Structure 1
Amino acid sequence: MSAPAQDAAPPLPAGQKAAPKLKQPYPFWLGGVAATIAASITHPLDLTKVRLQASGDKRMIESLRKTVRTAGARGLFDGISGTWMRQMSYSLCRFWAYDESKKLIGAGPNAPAWKLAAAGSMAGGIAGLVGNPGEIVMVRLQGDFAKPPEKRFNYKNCFDALFRMVREEGFSSLGRGLTPNVFRAILMNASQLASYDFFKAELLKTQYFEDNIYCHFTASFAAGTVATTVCSPADVLKSRIMNASGPGSNSTMQVIRNSLKNEGPMFMFKGWLPAWTRLQPTTILIFLTFEQLKNVVDWTRGTTKA
């Protein structure tokens, strides 16, 4: 008689089902990669938004034409290395921190909106702090060629910008605009990440949507509109402070007073259209790419079809 198999699991009692196997967490860097891919595609729109907010450019199309006229088509990708640095610091951190925050406060798949917003706010505060240097580098690289030649920073790339900032302006320069940037990051993650999860969960409760690309597109479209409106005031302040130089130019209250005096309260929504035009496809691309990357990870683990 052959010996019984050593690894055979004992039979379950009648009527009892095996406990579902816990799904492995996704790699922490997945969100950063998705955001980097999306931001690379939409970089010309982000470049235009920053130049509208921080320079004398008045209209989106006019600004795009000016860039092509003065720097050629390649000028639409000025400062792309700063965008990559920003996404692989800020965005990588925010996706990771959002997942960890949801676990911490017990925000499951059908969690109420306030729990998702709380998790997003926590993630935004952490990511805004970690990603501030990359944010400054991105804004300066994008806004440089919109300035008169004598006022340009003339950084070669994101690493040159980082090293020169520390050498020429001191280590404290990496904290320039930290307050509005962290505030904006809190607003962005509470509105974008949280609203995407909320809209996705609500859509899946209807009979018209399944967990597929159509659901992801609709949820991300709604999330992009919400995030643009909520974040516009802090986004304008962040761009103006980070793109400034000189003593006293990093004072948030001073920038607010000067902007209110010269432009009125609507300065807070200056560049809303290019911001929406940029953030909307970026939001859609981020979440569609993120969901597809998760599918690829599941496929490599043998848990689902690609």
Structure 2
Amino acid sequence: MIACLVTHPLDLAKVRLQTATIPGQSLISMIYQIISKEGFFKIYSGLTASLLRQATYSTTRFGVYEFLKEKYVDMTDNPKPSTAVLLPMSMTAGALGGLVGNPSDVVNIRMQNDSTLPVEQRRNYRNAFDGIYRICKEENPGSLFRGLAPNLVRGVLMTASQVVTYDIAKNLLVDHVHLDPTKKSTHFSASLLAGLVATTVCSPADVVKTRIMNAKGTDGNPITILTSAVKNEGVGFMFRGWLPSFIRLGPHTIVTFLALEQLRKYKLGM
């Protein structure tokens, strides 16, 4: 949630770029457009939903991963599990995180993109909880799990590429570059590498997920959205917004792991 507060404007710009019908806008021009046309504080549109998403999705995936890793270390007395062991743990954690966080993710996407819709089509959710209540009331509770399949895929890819890359990179930096495992510079370097890998691996699932969740009514068929986008925009649409995704996910990953290491250091919940 701390990382979310730092990077929310970048996340907002990423969502707008991914749902834009006209490709070619840059991150800077999108942020400028939001501020100039909608006002400065609109770069924090949907913040409550974004915070709720981190409190559900990220808490679950990091918590489950750390729990499984600790149990494995206790059982085997091996403080550095191999990649073959860490991958299934991270994939399980990512899938559970995607499931738990899906409702808040739907509201998050809709709130961030609401200002781009025609006035008569805007949803105008007051906050994340109002959004969840109105989706259940105006559509049906099942709509909270729209885009679940690509969200589960993204959760698996994100967690596997992010936490496993971080653990591997940290071990390599400590064992071969002889960096201090307790130093923030070591955590920074490992998390930067993790952010780069995670952005590239997750981009296709992230773009498809965003479009499905933002669709109105019965327009959220994944196959229809995917085939239509490929036909009209080419395969490259799956990497639409890669740079803002990395500019957002890089700092987000760095802040997340720096906070995580401090929680581990002071044994707060870990």
1:89 pairs, out of 51, 56, 60, with 56
Q: Does 1:243 align with 2:211?
A: no
In 2, the alpha carbon distance for the partners of 1:89 and 1:56 equals 30
- Superposed CA offset, 1:42-81 (max 9, x none): 1000000001001346221111011101222211111100
Change (3 A) 1:214 1:174: same
- Superposed CA offset, 1:97-143 (max 9, x none): 11223245558542222221211101011111111101111111111
In 1, the alpha carbon distance for the partners of 2:139 and 2:27 equals 32
**Bigger Cα Rg:** 1
1:111 pairs, out of 81, 86, 90, with 81
In 2, the alpha carbon distance for the partners of 1:103 and 1:65 equals 45
Q: Does the 8 A contact of 1:224 with 1:284 survive in 2?
A: yes
Name the counterpart of 1:59: 26
In 1, the alpha carbon distance for the partners of 2:110 and 2:11 equals 12
Q: Does 1:186 align with 2:153?
A: no
Deviates more, 1:206-215 or 1:77-86: 206-215
2:95 pairs, out of 116, 125, 131, with 125
1:260 pairs, out of 218, 226, 230, with 230
Name the counterpart of 1:134: 104
Q: Does the 8 A contact of 1:109 with 1:201 survive in 2?
A: no
What's the secondary structure of 1:208's corresponding residue? Answer: coil
Letter in 1 for 2:191: S
Q: CA deviation at 1:90?
A: 0.5
Q: Does 1:44 align with 2:9?
A: yes
TM-score with structure 1 setting the length = 0.82
Q: CA deviation at 1:148?
A: 2.2
What's the secondary structure of 1:153's corresponding residue? Answer: coil
- Superposed CA offset, 1:207-249 (max 9, x none): 43011101100000000000000000000001000011121x2
Instruction: Compare the two structures and name the one with the higher helix fraction.
Output: 2
In 2, the alpha carbon distance for the partners of 1:105 and 1:253 equals 39
Q: Does the 8 A contact of 1:82 with 1:134 survive in 2?
A: yes
Q: CA deviation at 1:83?
A: 0.7
Unaligned runs of 5+ in 1: 1-35, 299-306
Q: Does the 8 A contact of 1:220 with 1:283 survive in 2?
A: yes
What's the secondary structure of 1:82's corresponding residue? Answer: helix
Letter in 2 for 1:60: L
TM-score with structure 2 setting the length = 0.93
Q: Does the 8 A contact of 1:113 with 1:195 survive in 2?
A: no
Name the counterpart of 1:233: 204
In 2, the alpha carbon distance for the partners of 1:282 and 1:207 equals 25
Name the counterpart of 2:257: 287
Q: CA deviation at 1:170?
A: 0.5
Name the counterpart of 1:201: 171
Letter in 1 for 2:199: T
- Superposed CA offset, 1:237-277 (max 9, x none): 01000011121x22111111110111011111001000011
What's the secondary structure of 1:131's corresponding residue? Answer: helix
Q: Does 1:213 align with 2:178?
A: no
Name the counterpart of 1:276: 246
Q: Does 1:101 align with 2:63?
A: no
In 2, the alpha carbon distance for the partners of 1:203 and 1:110 equals 14
In 2, the alpha carbon distance for the partners of 1:56 and 1:133 equals 25
In 2, the alpha carbon distance for the partners of 1:203 and 1:156 equals 46
> How many residues are treated as equivalent by the alignment?
264
Q: Percent identity?
A: 42
1:165-180 equivalences under 5 Å are: 165-180=135-150
In 1, the alpha carbon distance for the partners of 2:71 and 2:221 equals 35
Name the counterpart of 2:38: 71
